[in-house]
Each structure stands twice: as C-alpha cells, then as structure tokens.
Structure 1
C-alpha cells in the first residue's frame, strides 16, 4: 500500500493496492490483516496559510471490542498534524499502520512525490528474502535464517486471558 501522488496534481494522494498487518490496540490480541485490492484516493486537508504541517496516511482498524464502538472494519485515513515553523509528526492512533508522511506546504496546489515520505515497514516469512536500503541508493538483499522458535516471557504456559504466549523467531539475518 504505497502512497503516491495522483496523475493529475491536486489535493489528493493515491494509496496503491497491497496488504498490511496492523497490530491490535491490545498487544495480546495479535494482528489484523488488511487488504486494499484497488487504488484508493485520500484527500489531504487544506494547508495553513503560512505554516507547514506533517500529516500521516494510515490504515486504521476499527474493532467493536477494542474501540467500544459498533464498527468492525478498517479504512485508510489522514491523521492531520499541527501547523508549525518546524512541524512534528502527529501521534499514531491505536490499531493503525503508518503508510506515508505527507509534508503539507503552505499554499501548495498539490503534493509532488518529493513531499510524500514512505514510512511502511516490510515483512518477510522465515527463510524469505527482503530488499532493504543499503548505505547507498542501491538496494541490498537481506535473508532471514530462522533456526527455531523461542517463547517470549509470560507468566504461564497460556499467557494472559487464556491466549497462548507469543513466539519469536531465533536465528540471524545476513546481508548480501
């Protein structure tokens, strides 16, 4: 779910198709899988007249149990920052996955690619290969070598609330 400018420059950005894993508001509840199966356009709120602002584009899950609401769905939303001379990143809402930060410049008619910063985190299955940014602009390959599983510390064999304790891969990563 990469955030890019729309082909026709305007106050909107486009979130491309993709899959994301969103941590639940309560860490004991695990993760949600969200699937964006087509491009989705999001409008960025108007800029301040003289000050810059940083906005976050996030995939946010709504769970009736965690939110004490009625919705059980997810959406791609803008978390609007506060205008300032030196703007700060807004806080991340619970149960949300950051996709991009957008630098909202005063009186700008659109958001060129240079104002959109990709903040996604990538996952790879054990033994898989993930491209990572290296010391230069070229890409490096990193491979996971999982050698086993280790139980994270918890107070019982079933964790809290009857849920199993989480497991963590052990092993190493190699850069090539």
Structure 2
C-alpha cells in the first residue's frame, strides 16, 4: 500500500510541476511584452526602397533611410524620421518628385504629412518649396498653411502663406500671396 501511495504522490507532484512550467510560459510572454516600451514601433525598416506597381507599370517609388511602423497603435501610422524621396509616374511615365526631411503616413485617414525642406518638382519643371505639406490620398488634394514658393517653368514666381490644390495642380487656390506672373500677349 505504501508503494502505491508513493507512486500516486509522485504522479500528483509531477503533474503540478509540469502545470506550473506551462503556466510560467504564458506569464513569460506577458513579461516580455511589458519589456517593450509603450511608444516603441512594431517594426523598423532600414534602407527602404519601395516600388508601387499598377497593371505592370511602376507608378511610384519611395526611398528612405529609416521607416518606423506604428501600426500596433490605436491610431496607426508609419514614420520616416530620416527623410523621404517619392517619385510618381503618370501614364506617359513622366516623373514628379517629392523630397522632405521627415514624413508620416496615417494609415486610417490616408493623410501624408511632409515636413522640413519639402520640395516638389513636377515633370514640367514647376518647383514648389515649403516647410510643411499635406497630401490627402483619399481626396487627391495637396495643401499647406505654411509659407511656400512656387516657381513655374515660364519663370513666374508665387510666394504664399498657404494653398489648396488638387494633386495635378490644375485647381490651385493660393492665400495671401505675392508673385511675378508672366503673361504672353495674344499676337492676333
């Protein structure tokens, strides 16, 4: 009888020890998650060179030294703290380029915030410079409330304190601006 109780007792102890080990594994995962700072990104990419393709054609490229992905947050976003270079190609493969010292893309709203020496160069050589520029991808709208300068290919210059425009710059509304416009006379 003593032998049976001893085996029974060892079986219970073994079961308890194994159960405790497995329960510690669950707690270990929780402890590891607590080690990650609350403001840490989900992932960090280095040497980013992304290409966006539509129907077999490259429509955009994005290059950046660093990308931080915060899609684990309640309001997810991706951050480009070391600057970003984006090239857009139209259906004729003409290139428009945007550079900035810092960029952030808000996943849920489709809003892109570019900051610090923002430069937009269109395929027709129009150049826009600003301290900050927003691009609403959903509405295809570009805007800023910051000082900006636009140099058109014909030599005209527009300096303003803000503007709204569609992304093709065909519907452009400038606020508080000063500039030099070049008008060609109709020779008829």
Question: Is the structural similarity TM-score above 0.5?
Answer: no
Pick 1 or 2: higher relative contact order, CA cutoff 8 A, min separation 6: 1
Normalised by the length of structure 2, the TM-score is 0.20
Larger Rg: 2
